[in-house]
Amino acid sequence: MYEPIFALFCERVKESIQSGTFAKLTLAKTIGDTEIKNIYFRLLLNEDDTFSISLTTRYKTEEIESTHTLDEALLVLGTYIKNPFLTALLFTTDNDLTFKVNKKNAGSIIEQPPTFKNASPVMLEMVEKGIV
């Protein structure tokens, strides 16, 4: 089952935010041709110097944006794994992590060298303000 591996992936997402290395997160590779194309996970800095997560869900004809706490956003992402997404990509300044689910319902995490040299602009601002 993929759930324990996805839980580990979520922990790595939290760690990347806490350590100030978060650059980007997206869900990709759907099962078949679906209305939903991908989901982008971005940090938002609130006026009270806290942060939220913006989830932008891209469909064939529209985009829907919603705002969540970190834990809520990870729960929402979890509902889309295998329904219809098979892959979640976390980009940090330390490394890129790819979470995948195969046809046998097994999850895996592949670690690769980082794509991004810098954390997201909001992440950098959060570090600068001492929020994380």
Per-residue model confidence as pLDDT tens digits over 44-61: 999 999 999 999 999 999
Exposure class string for 5-39: b at 16+ Cβ within 10 A, else e: bbeebbebbeebbeebbbbbbbbeebeeeeebebb
In this prediction, residue 64 has a pLDDT band, given cuts at 50, 70 and 90, of very high
CA 71/CA 113 separation, integer angstroms? 26
Does residue 1 carry a pLDDT above 90?
no
* DSSP-derived 3-state class of residue 58: strand
Pair of tokens at residue 86? 């098979």
In this prediction, residue 74 has a pLDDT band, given cuts at 50, 70 and 90, of very high
CA 18/CA 4 separation, integer angstroms? 21
Does residue 41 carry a pLDDT above 90?
yes
Average pLDDT over residues 74-90: 96
Q: In the chain, pLDDT over 90 holds for what percent of residues?
A: 92
Q: In the chain, pLDDT over 70 holds for what percent of residues?
A: 100
Biggest distance spanned by C-alpha atoms of the chain: 45
